[in-house]
A and B are shown apart, each in its own frame.
Chain A
Amino acid sequence: MSVNETISSAAEQREASVPVQDVAVEKKREDMPVQEGKTVGLPYADDPKFKLRNVEVFYGDDRAIKDISLDIARNEVISFIGPSGCGKSTFLRCLNRMNDSIDICRVKGQLMLDDEDIYHSKRDVVELRARVGMVFQKPNPFPKSIYDNVAYGPRIHGLANRKSDLDEIVENSLRKAGLWDEVKDRLDATATGMSGGQQQRLCIARAIAVSPEVILMDEPCSALDPIATAKVEELISEMSESYTIVIVTHSMQQAARVSHRTAYFHLGHLVEVNETSKVFTSPEHELTESYITGRFG
Chain B
Amino acid sequence: MTDQRSQAEIVRQSLKRRYRKERRFRLYGIVAIFIALASLFILFADIIGKGHTGFVKTTITLDVTLDSETMYLDDPTDQDQIAMADFVAPIIAALQDHFPDAEGRAARRELGRLVGSYAASDIRDLIEANPDLLNTTQTMEFLAHDTVSVYVKHADDPSYSIRLSEQQQAWVDELLEKDVIDTSFNDVLFSRGDSREPGNAGILGAIVGSLFTMLVTLAISFPVGIAAAIYLEEFAPQNKITDFIEVNINNLAAVPSIIFGLLGLAVFIGLFGMPRSVPVVGGLVLALMTLPTIIISSRAAIKSVPPSIREAAEGIGASKMQVVLHHVVPLAMPGMLTGSIIGMAQALGETAPLLLIGMVAFIVDVPDGFFSSATVLPVQIYLWASSSEQGFVELASAGIMVLLAFMISMNALAIWLRKRLERRW
Contact = CB atoms under 8 A, between A and B. Distances in A.
Interface size class on chain B is 10 to 19
A296 B3 CA distance: 44
B316 interface: no
A125 to B, nearest CB: 10
Contact of B10 (A126, A157, A212): A157
B18 A130 contact: no
B14 interface: yes
A211 B18 contact: no
B254 interface: no
A213 B11 contact: no
A127 interface: yes
B3 A157 contact: no
A34 interface: no
Nearest to B8: A131
A158 interface: yes
Contacts of A130: 7-8, 11
Given A124-B15, A126-B18, A127-B15, A213 B4 contact: yes
Contacts of A159: 7, 10-11
Contacts, number: 35
Contacts of B19: 126
A127 B7 contact: no
B15 A211 contact: no
Residue with the highest number of chain A CB atoms closer than 10 Å, among B3, B11, B12, B15: B11
A211 B12 contact: no
Contacts of B18: 126, 156
B4 A126 contact: no
B4 A157 contact: no
Nearest to A154: B7
B8 A127 contact: yes
B14 A211 contact: no
B7 A158 contact: no
Interface in B1-23: 3-4, 7-8, 10-12, 14-15, 18-19
A266 to B, nearest CB: 31
Interface size class on chain A is 10 to 19
B10 A210 contact: no
A159 to B, nearest CB: 6
A15 B11 CA distance: 47
A210 B8 CA distance: 9
B401 to A, nearest CB: 38
A211 B15 CA distance: 17
A213 to B, nearest CB: 5
Interface string A114-144: 0000000000101100110000000000000
Contacts of A213: 4, 8
A159 B3 CA distance: 11
Contacts of B12: 124, 127
B4 A158 contact: no
A126 B8 CA distance: 11
A114 to B, nearest CB: 10
B4 to A, nearest CB: 5
A127 B8 CA distance: 7
A166 to B, nearest CB: 13
A158 B4 CA distance: 14
Contacts of B4: 131, 211-213
A158 B8 contact: no
Contacts of A156: 18
Contacts of A131: 4, 8, 11
Contacts of B15: 124, 126-127
Contacts of B10: 157-159
B5 to A, nearest CB: 9
Contacts of B7: 130, 157, 159, 210-211
A213 B4 CA distance: 7
B350 to A, nearest CB: 40
Contacts of A210: 7, 11
B50 to A, nearest CB: 42
A99 to B, nearest CB: 20
Interface string A157-169: 1110000000000
A45 B3 CA distance: 25
A157 B12 CA distance: 9
Nearest to A130: B11
A204 to B, nearest CB: 16
Interface in A174-228: 210-213
Contacts of B8: 127, 130-131, 213
Contacts of A127: 8, 11-12, 15
11 contacts: A124-B12, A126-B15, A127-B15, A131-B8, A156-B18, A157-B7, A157-B14, A158-B14, A210-B7, A210-B11, A212-B4
Given A131-B4, A159-B10, A159-B11, 14 more contacts: A126-B15, A126-B18, A127-B8, A127-B15, A130-B7, A157-B7, A157-B10, A158-B11, A159-B7, A210-B7, A211-B3, A211-B4, A212-B4, A213-B8
Interface of A: 124, 126-127, 130-131, 156-159, 210-213
Q: Which 3 residue pairs spanning A and B have beta carbons closest together? A: A211-B7, A130-B11, A158-B14
Interface of B: 3-4, 7-8, 10-12, 14-15, 18-19
